[in-house]
């Protein structure tokens, strides 16, 4: 039996998917969720084969929810995005349903997933690539969502002091706490506001609002001092970039 979870804040959209799935005897809906918070817990509990996931939801959106999962299940997106924005999905062979969708289109998406199901490597790779694409919601540039045990935390970017590379993760430092996110420094360099965040070293990115001064260290090296007292090393290129951004 194929286990499915419906994650959508619109009851009508879930009811339509539920109705269409009734024609598939080999599929069982194990849970319906109103938002991404519920979705993360339901996926951990049921380990579904497939989820139908809305993108635009309250609390956290569909992309942010997927980022919190260590092993995301197969996904068919349900969305109100327009056709132009959805071209990125098509290019990575992950299917989507543009609301309002017909039963014929719904069944076609299921068939496409079924054909891809055997190739898990290709499917996971396409999902990972999709999550780095610029088909993202505006709120994602103003916050970072992280998972702490069974809790989900939303960090406004204005509270971030600096970021530090840590193996396959990035450490995110605020005034009082440190969080881990399975992303790369390059990802945040591309997605955080360049007017606020500057990558000053291969392993460090600072929030300009937290900078108090730049000091020489030894020979031609320098460090950035932050309001918290943190001392951030500057590479030669990072020092040059920081001076340029500050107009020095």
Confidence band for 142, pLDDT divided at 50, 70 and 90: confident
| pLDDT average, residue stretch 48-63 | 90
Domain ranges within the chain, ordered by starting residue: 2-130, 142-246
pLDDT in tens, 223-246: 999 999 999 999 999 999 999 998
> How much is the pLDDT for 71?
83
Predicted pLDDT at 77:
87
CATH fold group of domain 142-246: OB fold (Dihydrolipoamide Acetyltransferase, E2P) (2.40.50)
The string of pLDDT tens digits covering residues 163-196 is 999 998 999 999 889 999 988 999 899 888 889 9
C-alpha dist (Å) from residue 212 to 41, 151, 228? 41, 33, 9
Query: Using one digit for the tens of pLDDT, what is the confidence trace for 3-39?
Result: 999 999 999 999 999 999 999 999 999 999 999 999 9
Q: How many CB atoms lie within 10 A of CB 127?
A: 18
Q: Pairing mode, if any, of strands 50-54 and 2-7?
A: parallel
DSSP H helices in 47-101 = 62-67, 87-91
| Helix, strand, or coil (residue 132) | coil
- pLDDT 10s digits, 75-111: 888 888 765 455 545 544 367 888 889 999 999 999 9
Give me the pLDDT at residue 169, please: 92
pLDDT of residue 92: 45
The residues, any chain, with a CB within 8 Å of residue 156's CB and separated by 6 or more, are 142, 143
Nearest partner of 152 among 238, 73, 66, 227, judged by Cα: 66
Q: Which CATH superfamily is domain 2-130 in?
A: Response regulator (3.40.50.2300)
Q: Can you tell me the mean pLDDT for 118-134?
A: 55
pLDDT on residue 138: 63
């Amino acid at each position: 039996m194929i286990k499915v979870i419906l994650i959508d804040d619109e009851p009508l959209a879930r009811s339509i998917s539920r109705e269409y799935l009734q024609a598939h005897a080999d599929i069982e809906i194990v849970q319906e969720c109103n938002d991404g918070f519920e979705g993360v817990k339901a996926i951990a509990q049921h380990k579904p084969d497939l989820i139908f996931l809305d993108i635009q939801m309250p609390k956290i959106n569909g992309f942010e929810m997927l980022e919190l999962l260590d092993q995301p299940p197969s996904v068919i997106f349900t969305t109100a995005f327009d056709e132009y924005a959805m071209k990125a999905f098509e290019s990575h062979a992950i299917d989507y349903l543009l609301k309002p969708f017909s039963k014929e289109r719904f069944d076609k998406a299921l068939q496409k997933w079924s054909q891809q199901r055997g190739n898990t490597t290709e499917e996971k790779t396409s999902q990972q690539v999709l999550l780095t694409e610029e088909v993202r919601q505006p709120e994602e540039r103003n916050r970072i969502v992280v998972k702490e045990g069974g809790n989900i935390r939303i960090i406004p970017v204005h509270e971030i002091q600096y970021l530090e590379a840590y193996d396959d993760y990035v450490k995110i430092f605020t005034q009082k706490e440190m969080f881990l996110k399975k992303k790369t420094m390059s990802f945040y360099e591309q997605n955080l506001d360049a007017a606020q965040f500057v990558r000053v070293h291969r392993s460090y990115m600072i929030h300009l609002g937290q900078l108090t001064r730049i000091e020489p260290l030894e020979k031609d090296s320098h460090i950035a001092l932050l309001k918290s007292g943190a001392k951030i090393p500057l590479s030669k290129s990072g020092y040059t970039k920081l001076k340029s951004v500050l107009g020095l």
